[in-house]
Structure 1
C-alpha cells in the first residue's frame, strides 16, 4: 500500500482513482477543480479531498493526474498551487493526460530539478476501459522510475508498457489516435456503402469481422453506427484535441498525415452538426445527411 494522490476526476480520472483505492488498496487523496466532484468521490470511495494539487500531493509516494490539456497540466504541476511544490523527494508523478510530447519533456526536466520522478502515461480504452479498470497505458520516462510505478498503475490497466524516454508515451498515444481516426472513417464508409447497397448490415459485419477487416471498433460500434446512436463513448471534442496534438507534432517532425488531417476536418463537420459530445464513431452521420 502506498500514499497516492489523484488530480482530475473527470470521466476518466474518477473511475481510475476508484480502482487505485479499491483494487490497489492505496491511501487516496483527491483533488478536482470543481470541489463538489472531489467530495462526491470521497463519499463514494473514502479517502480525503484536498483544496489544491499541492495539498493533495503533500507526503505522497505517487501522484497521478488526468486533466484536459497542456495548460491544465502545467497549472496542476508547476503552477502556484501545483503538485510539484508539495511532492517529497523521490516521489513519482504519473501523468495520464493526453498532452503533447513537448510538455512531457518540459515537466520531466522540472521534476528532475526537484528530485522527483515523472512519467508521461496517456491511456487508451475510453470511459468503459476506465470504469472496468482495463485501460492500455503507454509510458515514457526512466526505466527505474517506471519499474517503481508499474505495479501501482496496474490497478486500472490491462496493459502497461514503457515505450521509451520522456515524451515517448505521448508520441505512442498520437499513433494510437491516428490509427483510430482512419479506421473509423473507413468503417463509416463501409457501413454506409452496405446500407446504400441494400445489404443486411448485421450479416455483412458477421462475415467480414471474422476476416482481415476485423477491429475493436467494428465489433463494438457497428450496431450503434448503423442505428445512428452516438450519445456515449469518446467525445468528438476530445478526439479533435488529440488530433490537433498529432498534427502539431507532425509539423515539427516531418511526418506526413494526409488522412488524419482530412478526418480531423470531417470531425469539424460533426461539431457543426451539434455532435461535439457524440462518440467518435459518429463520422458516419455526415455521410447520411
Structure 2
C-alpha cells in the first residue's frame, strides 16, 4: 500500500471530521486553538503534503513562496482572506474552501444580532445579571420593532440571500441591497440599489455579508455610517476589516446611528475597550458557524477537497484568483 499523504490540521476539529481524515491521510492535528505563527507555518509547509488551515493562519505572500512540499490548502471556512490565493497559485498550490455549509448558521447569527440590538437585549440582560434591574415599567428598554421595517443587505450572495429570506418571510421586512454584480433572483422581493450609501440611507437595519480582504477593507466607513438613519442598526457577520472600527465607535458614541450587532472585529480577538463599554452594541465572539453539525459539515467538506486533490480528481470547492 502506498504511503498516505501527510496532512497537517492547524486546530482541533470535531471528532467525526478527524476520524474521516485519518482514513485517507497520515494525519497530524495541532492541539493549540490559536493561529500558527509565520515561522510555524513555514515549517508545516516544508514538511507536509497538504494543510487544513482556518481563520487567522498566516498564509500570505511572505510565507507561501517558501513552501517546499505542501501542494494543497483546504481551508476550513468559506472566508479565505488569510490566504493569498495568487501567491499560493504561484507556488504551485491549490486552495479550496467550504461554501454552502456555513450559509444558514451565519444567517441565523445575523438575525440574532439584529434582534439583540434592536430590542436592547444585551443591555437589558446585563442589568438583570448585575442586579440593577428595578422591575417592569412601560418605558424601560424601549427598542426598535423590526417587523415591517426595511432590511439593507450589502453583498447578496448565499448568506445575504439567506438573511433576506429570514427577514422578509419572518418579519415582513422590505429588502434593498447592494451587490457589485447584478442579482436577478434574491429569493424574495428585493430592490438592488446603485451604491452602499444608498442602501445605508434606505434601511432601518443593514447587514453585511461580503468577503473580507483588501478589496472590501473599510467598505463601511464614516461616510457610509453618516448615511444611516439615526435609529439605524448595523450588523456584521462578514469580516471585521469590512468596517472601519474607529468610525463605527465614533458613530455609536455620538448616537448618530442607533446601534450595532457584531460577530467579527477588525483585529480579532482584540475588541477595543471603547466598543465593549458601549450599551448600544451587541457583541458576540465570532459565533457565525458555531454549531456542532455545521462545523462537522465544514470539516468533512474540507477533507473531501483534500481527498479529491490527492486522488487526482477535480477539487469540488477550489478557489482561484
After TM superposition, the score normalised by the length of structure 1 is 0.42
Between structures 1 and 2, the one with greater helix share: 1
User: Based on CA coordinates, which of the two structures has the bigger radius of gyration?
Assistant: 2
